[in-house]
Structure 1
Amino acid sequence: MFKNLLEDLLNYIKTRTFVLGVICAVMIGILVHRLFDLQIINGEDYLNTFTYRIQKDTEIESPRGTIYDVNGVPLAYNKLSYSITLEDSTLLTDNQTKNTMIAKLVNFVESTGNTLIYDIPLQMDEEGNMSFSAGEGTVLRFKKDVYSSETLTDEQKNATAEDVYQYMRGKKFFNLDESYTDEEALKILSVRFDLWMKRYEKYLSVTVANDVNDQLVAAVEENADVLPGVSVKQDYTRVYADSKYFSNITGYIGSISEDELAEYKEQGNDSYSLNDQIGKAGAESYFESKLKGTKGSQKLYVNSLGSVLEVAEKTDPVPGEDVYLSIDAELQKTAYDKIEERIAGILLTYMSDKTTKTDSDVMIPIKEFYYALIDNNVISLDHLSASDADNQEKTFWNNYKNYESDTSSSMEDKMGTALKDLNDEYKSYLMMAYNMLKDREILNTGNLDDNDETLSEWNAGNISFNDLIEYAITKDIVNISSLNLSSDYLNTEEIYNALLSYVKEELPLYEGFEKKAIYYMLQNDYISGADICLLLYSQNVLEKDDDYEKLLSGDMSAYNFMYTKIYNLEITPDMLALPPCSGSYVVTDVDTGKVKALVSYPGYDANQINNVKYYSSLINNESSPLYNRATQQTLAPGSTFKPISAIAGLEEGVIDEDTWITDNVTYTKVEPHANCWDSSGHGTINVEQAIEYSCNYFFYEVGYRLGSNNNTTELSDSKGLTLLAKYASMFGLDSVSGLELPETTPKISDESIVRSAIGQTTHNYTAAELTRYVTAIANTGNLYQLSILDKITDSEGNVLEENQPKLTSKIELKQSTWDIVHRGMYKVCNESSYRSKMGNLEVTLAGKSGTAQVSETLPNHGLFIGYAPYEKPEVAATLIIPNGHGSSNVLDLYADLMCYYFNVPYNNSSDEEGESTTARTANIPAQDIRTD
């Protein structure tokens, strides 16, 4: 029996089942032993040394290429810096923990003197009112993101800034409790929203602060345990050197928007993500594909706090290419400064100590200068009532509130007086009240007939405000639901009284009322110019100095204070935004079309462009710093167009060099009659002299002959305008200049051939487009496409692309035509009444002035086009000062700038001391030398 059992056992051992059983037993034993070792023997040690590892694939930003001037001076470059980034952390599981952590982070950022990146288009004024801080399109996109819907309901579409803010703060979204102030909440919401927008890209971080200091870096690293997901990142900050001079050329970079990202993806470019910075304007935008470089990548292992444990794989980024512009930085800066000085000089020349002006008076009353500081937001009205306002601000605000109260009381009595019988102040208040009721859809005048008699009487000023309100009630066009009344069933008298009460309470809060009231406070001597000027020191626009003490004590008048500060450019023309407040200057190489200087005054600081408060100040500045005057502002060319008219007349054979025309001052062949600018006439002159003297009468006749049939008395405007457009188009005035910057399309006149021939009517061109035209005159017929690009290199300096001249066309004219136009433009500078300002220089100038009338209430524009040296032209240029009181105020400045370029002295013979009259001490005549 034992033998049988042994045999059975041996047979069983030989089976596969036994072998598998033994193997399983051994493996179970090993597993049990390992578990015992892990949990019992070494459990405490392993628990202390365990690290949670997460694989994370990240991108490495490529250094953006540098933008240089033609001489290798960096205009836009990268500075190595640190930024603070944030990404979602698994340790933050709900709104409360996220909000608490972000509040701590915001506090660290601001307490160390750094600036939080604030991206949402919501802003709050000092009185706690919410508003949108972006354009309509951006706000609509923002609402779609907030409400997570591409199709908004009417309620969402019409949501106010306050509505959106409360929704974001509420339980349905980020759920910020009441312990946070509105100011704190907005900052937390901005960070939360940026992070929320990247919710589908789990490890994509948001940047909370750029270019931070060492104190913040230390604070973040020391508090890493309470700041999960927060990292210190080595980064590049874009720096713009001497930015105000070049901002309208370089542009700036900013965070890519969802729309821009979608556009890139539609174009097949997937290299961008929502965390990227891209060129938003200027060269930064145009050369984006060259400057951006190629991102690198790396595979990391991080712990639960986001700290890097290991770099597994890494691909280095490829730096962006460098862009060399054709701009000469020193020429650009010098021209900008001289233009600013000249505009300041013009303002000082036309500053008057009178308090009022007539429509025909070209002088600017001093009170307009004081008020400009308020009107152009140099002085913040919001801060006057702020908790940290100083005594000067508080006093000013108390005076305003008293005036507002008096005005409201008086206005109640004025409401029964016909509008035309009121003074300008109360007339403007009641018109503002009328507009307020319309804007708020309380008064629905759109429901009235276009020819409604009562409304026409109101617009004519023949009835009172009360009459209008009573009529509106009878016509049932008053929306009483907007008045927040206790009942919807009111009689006519109750509605009338409710409307008047509403106007009395709401008008002082209506946008623009405060400024309007302060204007009349100043006009009525309720406040003084000194009261306003002292606010410049209260709000740190100016640093306190001796002038402050003198102004405060009365030892310096407000008039002299303003004169001194404008003279020293402590108060600049763009701050005042009075006419003139802007200028442009474009210089080209006549043999290539490359631009050597492209000045747009005023400029801005591109280094601060992403600061919401600063950007808002640019948007609200009436001098429009973001507007590139050189490439986007179109103006009537005035007499700078006359060389084109001369060419058209000569080429079409309606005149020749032996044609003599007598200037009879008043041109009677058209109705209404047209007049020459010189009431004495220019006598009998030929075409060269007509260019020299800028004789309107001569060019009226040229225009008439272009439009007449065989020189008969029958005038065809369309025929003449077609011929004129033919030659204007030859010189590129029918298209943009070709610059790598946004340009406004020009317009060749389509009205009145006679007046079009002197550069008036509907002609409109930019400074760049006029420069392209005069460049073609200077080089006798080569029409180039203008360019600001010189070359492109890689990061090692190897040239990848040389920008070659782009010849658009060759203008074929008779040599005699070219000679006549050149000689005429020579005479303008060297033989006309301008020779004292432009002649007898070490470089010979040729050119043409222009004075373009804007309106009867604004000063004329001043323009000058030209080239030098006359004998062998190297450069051509256009200088424009809009509302600069005519061409006489740009002549010597143009000459001075040309002399600077050729490095020769500019000694204006009309200046006895030999000082350049571009200085602010320039004795600019109150009246133009001539109007052409």
Structure 2
Amino acid sequence: MSYSSDKRLIKFTIIIALIFLLLIGRLYYLQIYKGDIFKELSEGNRTSLRSISAPRGKIYDRNKKVLVSNKLAYTLSIIPNEVDDVDLLLDKLTELIELDYQSIKDKISKSNPQKILRLKRNISREELILLEEYKSELPGIILEKVPMREYVYQQLASHLLGYVGEISAIKLDKLKGQGYDVGDVIGKTGLELYYEDYLQGKEGKELVEVNNVGEKVRTLGIEEPIAGYDLVLNLDYDLQSSVEKILKDHLDLLSQKAKSDEDISEPPRGGAVIVMNPDDSSILAMASLPEYDPNVFVGGISQKEWNQLNTDPKKPMFNRAIRTSAPSGSIFKLVTATAGMEELGIKADTEFYDPGYYETGGVRFNNWATAGQGKLSFLEGIAWSNNTVFYKIGHQLYNKDKTILQWYAHQFGLGDKTNIDLKNESKGLVPDPEWRRNYFKDRVDKIWYPGYTINLSIGQGNLRTSPIQLVNLVSAIANGGQLYQPLLVDKIVDKDGRVIKDLKPKLLNELPVSNNTLKIVKEGMKGVTTYGTARRAFEDLPIDVAGKTGTAQTGKGRPNHGWFAGFVPFEKPELAIVVFIEYGSSSANTLPIAKEIIQDYFDLELTDKDKDS
């Protein structure tokens, strides 16, 4: 009996011991072997897949000087799906920092809830400190450094470089399926917009472990972002800087003059200068004033700032170099001269007589020299920009064919886009009988009278042109008759410098005129600067300049627009230049600007007369 009891006791003891061993083993497994894992679970740790912003491609000048780059800046973001109460979080955030509550709510409602959404870019140091301090009360916020656009020289070349900003709902809908999402940054204007497909990189992905308040604990896996391609421009930084300064200085002088001269009804509103290589229409400098700083758009611009820019009467956002649409004034006489030689057999020494006006059908068209210039040759007519000479040619062209002058204008690229690598270029207008029939309602207004061609022959009336069209026109004359597509970008390269795309000059048109015609036009343009209307501005330069002035009437009692277009040196052109001053009163005000640019480029010393001016 005692033996049997002892046996049961031993079995019971063994069972109890085994149970204790199992409990101790399980405890070791849970606390030691799996301790870290269960600690993480107890803290609410989980994984999160986050996108990594790709840096946009850089933009360089022709000598590889960086004009547009990227910098790292703190950004406030969330992943909507990983925030328990978005409304509560936004309420707390708006108490701490400046945020547009409704705008962010709209963004969240349209975004992919599983993707990271940038709420505010480029947050200030003060905002960062506040957010870090209250982070425990803001579960789900993500504070990280992301690449942001940096326009290194602020306003420099702002109109051609453009700016970036968050994608709009309309644009997002257009780009559906191309990898864009709510809150993404894209090019809005300028080269940033035109070359968006190349500049935009490919975002990366990071799988991270986060704790119960959304803070990153560690990286579990990463797919690195791919930077966008870089642009190498034809633009020369030094020339661009000089051109902008020269234009600004002269606009300031003219504005000061307008204050003290009661004959000037208002100061210039702005201006533009383009410097081009006439051999291939590559753009070396392009200035439009007033300008703006693209950096203000990088972190998001306030409605107040946007309204200030948009309602400024001087239109700082308006690229006058490609979007101006104004009469060219006498620069158009280069087209009329070409048509007259080709269609009417006019020669350099063909003689004209100017009594100070031209009269036909009881209508008198006055020359700018109201006393008349008497007898003068056709070549002298170009040099002196004699209206009477060109009135007569225009009327004869009308009698031969009502649209022949317009046809020549189109051959020179007027009335058509140049297809420069920028969006929103003005097409301009070369008015003709068909346009008049379609534009006007009354029968009498639909008729194309001789006077319309006569006015067109000197670049007045309904003619509309832009600086980019006119600099391309004189480039075609300078290079012997080839009209090219103007280009700001020379090539597109990857981060290692390998060429992705080499942009070659594209021929738009071969002017259907003889070499002799172009030779005479060039000689006339040289006459402008040596003994004609612009002689005083250029007579002391050691190199010959070919050019044409233009003063365009604006009507309504406002000052005229001022123009100059030309090329230099005359014998072997290196530069084609156009200067435009909006409400600049006279073409005479454009000449010192053109001259200083030529002096700067060719490193010519300023004369005493230049310094005095």
TM over 0.5: yes
Alpha-carbon contact 2:267-2:584 (below 8 Å) kept: yes
For 1:806 and 1:330, locate their aligned partners in 2 and report how far apart those are by CA, in whole Å.
26
Residues 1:675 and 2:375 are matched in the alignment: no
For 2:361 and 2:368, locate their aligned partners in 1 and report how far apart those are by CA, in whole Å.
17
Q: Which residue number in structure 2 is paired with residue 847 of structure 1?
A: 547
Q: Aligned pair in 2 of structure 1 residues 625, 31: CA closer, same or farther (>3 Å)?
A: farther
Q: Which residue number in structure 1 is paired with residue 515 of structure 2?
A: 815
For 2:210 and 2:41, locate their aligned partners in 1 and report how far apart those are by CA, in whole Å.
15
Q: Which residue number in structure 1 is paired with residue 187 of structure 2?
A: 279
Alpha-carbon contact 1:583-1:600 (below 8 Å) kept: yes
Equivalent AA in structure 2 for residue 344 of structure 1: D
Q: Aligned pair in 2 of structure 1 residues 230, 817: CA closer, same or farther (>3 Å)?
A: same
Residues 1:626 and 2:317 are matched in the alignment: yes
Q: CA deviation at 1:194?
A: 3.0
Which moved further from structure 2: 212-221 or 591-600?
A: 212-221
Equivalences for residues 43-122 of structure 1 within 5 A: 50-88=42-80, 92-93=84-85, 95=87, 97-104=88-95, 107=96, 109=97, 116=98
Q: CA deviation at 1:38?
A: 6.8
Q: Which residue number in structure 2 is paired with residue 643 of structure 1?
A: 334
For 1:727 and 1:90, locate their aligned partners in 2 and report how far apart those are by CA, in whole Å.
66
Equivalent AA in structure 2 for residue 859 of structure 1: P
1:725 is aligned, of 403, 406, 412, to: 406
Q: Which residue number in structure 2 is paired with residue 498 of structure 1?
A: none
For 2:109 and 2:94, locate their aligned partners in 1 and report how far apart those are by CA, in whole Å.
16
For 1:324 and 1:905, locate their aligned partners in 2 and report how far apart those are by CA, in whole Å.
31
Q: Aligned pair in 2 of structure 1 residues 190, 53: CA closer, same or farther (>3 Å)?
A: same
Residues 1:196 and 2:109 are matched in the alignment: yes
For 1:729 and 1:48, locate their aligned partners in 2 and report how far apart those are by CA, in whole Å.
74
Alpha-carbon contact 2:76-2:142 (below 8 Å) kept: yes
Aligned-residue CA RMSD in angstroms?
2.7
Q: Aligned pair in 2 of structure 1 residues 195, 775: CA closer, same or farther (>3 Å)?
A: same
For 1:778 and 1:90, locate their aligned partners in 2 and report how far apart those are by CA, in whole Å.
65
For 2:505 and 2:593, locate their aligned partners in 1 and report how far apart those are by CA, in whole Å.
29
Alpha-carbon contact 1:641-1:759 (below 8 Å) kept: yes
Q: Which residue number in structure 2 is paired with residue 701 of structure 1?
A: 392
In the TM superposition, what whole-angstrom CA distance separates every residue of 1:363-409 from its partner, at most 9, and x where no partner exists? 35xxxxxxxxxxxxxxxxxxxxxxxxxxxxxxxxxxxxxxxxxxxxx
For 2:497 and 2:29, locate their aligned partners in 1 and report how far apart those are by CA, in whole Å.
62
In the TM superposition, what whole-angstrom CA distance separates every residue of 1:872-896 from its partner, at most 9, and x where no partner exists? 1111111010110111111122111
Alpha-carbon contact 2:50-2:116 (below 8 Å) kept: no
In the TM superposition, what whole-angstrom CA distance separates every residue of 1:316-359 from its partner, at most 9, and x where no partner exists? 11111110111112222221222122122122223238xxxxxx
For 2:357 and 2:211, locate their aligned partners in 1 and report how far apart those are by CA, in whole Å.
88
Equivalent AA in structure 2 for residue 749 of structure 1: P
Alpha-carbon contact 2:51-2:116 (below 8 Å) kept: no
**Which runs of 5 or more structure 2 residues have no equivalent in the other structure?**
1-17, 433-447
1:859 is aligned, of 559, 571, 579, to: 559
Q: CA deviation at 1:93?
A: 3.4
Q: CA deviation at 1:99?
A: 4.5
1:257 is aligned, of 145, 168, 177, to: 168
Alpha-carbon contact 1:89-1:229 (below 8 Å) kept: no
Residues 1:237 and 2:136 are matched in the alignment: no
For 2:194 and 2:219, locate their aligned partners in 1 and report how far apart those are by CA, in whole Å.
36
Alpha-carbon contact 1:89-1:228 (below 8 Å) kept: no
For 2:86 and 2:73, locate their aligned partners in 1 and report how far apart those are by CA, in whole Å.
32
Equivalent AA in structure 2 for residue 102 of structure 1: L
For 1:49 and 1:706, locate their aligned partners in 2 and report how far apart those are by CA, in whole Å.
90
For 2:552 and 2:49, locate their aligned partners in 1 and report how far apart those are by CA, in whole Å.
62
Q: Aligned pair in 2 of structure 1 residues 93, 758: CA closer, same or farther (>3 Å)?
A: closer
For 2:286 and 2:389, locate their aligned partners in 1 and report how far apart those are by CA, in whole Å.
34
1:900 is aligned, of 600, 609, 612, to: 600
Q: CA deviation at 1:278?
A: 0.4
Residues 1:758 and 2:458 are matched in the alignment: yes
- How many pairs were matched up? 571
Residues 1:321 and 2:321 are matched in the alignment: no
Alpha-carbon contact 2:89-2:138 (below 8 Å) kept: no
Equivalent AA in structure 2 for residue 302 of structure 1: V
Q: Aligned pair in 2 of structure 1 residues 840, 255: CA closer, same or farther (>3 Å)?
A: same
Q: Aligned pair in 2 of structure 1 residues 302, 210: CA closer, same or farther (>3 Å)?
A: same
Q: Which residue number in structure 2 is paired with residue 869 of structure 1?
A: 569
Query: Percent of counterpart pairs with the same letter?
Result: 29
In the TM superposition, what whole-angstrom CA distance separates every residue of 1:890-932 from its partner, at most 9, and x where no partner exists? 1122111122122212326xx2xx5063xxxxxxxxxxxxxxx
Alpha-carbon contact 1:589-1:875 (below 8 Å) kept: yes
Q: Which residue number in structure 2 is paired with residue 448 of structure 1?
A: none
TM-score (structure 1 length as normaliser)? 0.58
1:223 is aligned, of 120, 130, 134, to: 134
Q: CA deviation at 1:190?
A: 3.5
Residues 1:338 and 2:246 are matched in the alignment: yes
TM-score (structure 2 length as normaliser)? 0.87
Q: Aligned pair in 2 of structure 1 residues 317, 286: CA closer, same or farther (>3 Å)?
A: same
Q: Aligned pair in 2 of structure 1 residues 90, 333: CA closer, same or farther (>3 Å)?
A: closer
Q: Which residue number in structure 2 is paired with residue 734 of structure 1?
A: 415
Equivalences for residues 360-509 of structure 1 within 5 A: 362-364=263-265
Equivalent AA in structure 1 for residue 144 of structure 2: K
Q: CA deviation at 1:37?
A: 9.2
Q: CA deviation at 1:211?
A: 2.6
Residues 1:749 and 2:449 are matched in the alignment: no
Q: Which residue number in structure 2 is paired with residue 579 of structure 1?
A: 267
In the TM superposition, what whole-angstrom CA distance separates every residue of 1:827-851 from its partner, at most 9, and x where no partner exists? 1001125322112312211100000
Helix, strand or coil for the counterpart of 2:202?
coil
Q: CA deviation at 1:31?
A: 11
For 2:455 and 2:524, locate their aligned partners in 1 and report how far apart those are by CA, in whole Å.
21
For 2:28 and 2:499, locate their aligned partners in 1 and report how far apart those are by CA, in whole Å.
68
For 1:689 and 1:94, locate their aligned partners in 2 and report how far apart those are by CA, in whole Å.
77
Equivalent AA in structure 1 for residue 418 of structure 2: S
Equivalent AA in structure 2 for residue 608 of structure 1: V
In the TM superposition, what whole-angstrom CA distance separates every residue of 1:240-283 from its partner, at most 9, and x where no partner exists? 12232211011111011222122112xx52x2211310001100
Which moved further from structure 2: 330-339 or 623-632?
A: 330-339
Q: Which residue number in structure 1 is paired with residue 198 of structure 2?
A: 290
Q: Which residue number in structure 2 is paired with residue 929 of structure 1?
A: none
Equivalent AA in structure 1 for residue 240 of structure 2: Q
Q: CA deviation at 1:33?
A: 9.4
2:505 is aligned, of 805, 812, 819, to: 805
Q: CA deviation at 1:54?
A: 2.7
Q: Which residue number in structure 1 is paired with residue 481 of structure 2?
A: 781
Q: Aligned pair in 2 of structure 1 residues 30, 769: CA closer, same or farther (>3 Å)?
A: farther
Q: Which residue number in structure 2 is paired with residue 149 of structure 1?
A: none
Q: CA deviation at 1:94?
A: 7.2
Alpha-carbon contact 1:244-1:602 (below 8 Å) kept: no
Q: Aligned pair in 2 of structure 1 residues 47, 604: CA closer, same or farther (>3 Å)?
A: closer
Q: Aligned pair in 2 of structure 1 residues 792, 671: CA closer, same or farther (>3 Å)?
A: farther
Equivalent AA in structure 1 for residue 160 of structure 2: I
For 1:685 and 1:321, locate their aligned partners in 2 and report how far apart those are by CA, in whole Å.
58
Q: Aligned pair in 2 of structure 1 residues 195, 91: CA closer, same or farther (>3 Å)?
A: closer
Q: Aligned pair in 2 of structure 1 residues 776, 763: CA closer, same or farther (>3 Å)?
A: same
**Which runs of 5 or more structure 1 residues have no equivalent in the other structure?**
1-25, 110-115, 119-186, 354-360, 365-577, 710-718, 918-932
For 2:238 and 2:544, locate their aligned partners in 1 and report how far apart those are by CA, in whole Å.
22
Q: Aligned pair in 2 of structure 1 residues 98, 59: CA closer, same or farther (>3 Å)?
A: closer
For 1:46 and 1:777, locate their aligned partners in 2 and report how far apart those are by CA, in whole Å.
81
Q: CA deviation at 1:617?
A: 0.8
Q: CA deviation at 1:35?
A: 9.7
Which moved further from structure 2: 221-230 or 766-775?
A: 221-230
Q: CA deviation at 1:89?
A: 6.7
Helix, strand or coil for the counterpart of 2:155?
helix
Runs of 4+ in 1 over 6 A off after TM superposition: 29-33, 35-39
Equivalent AA in structure 1 for residue 128 of structure 2: V
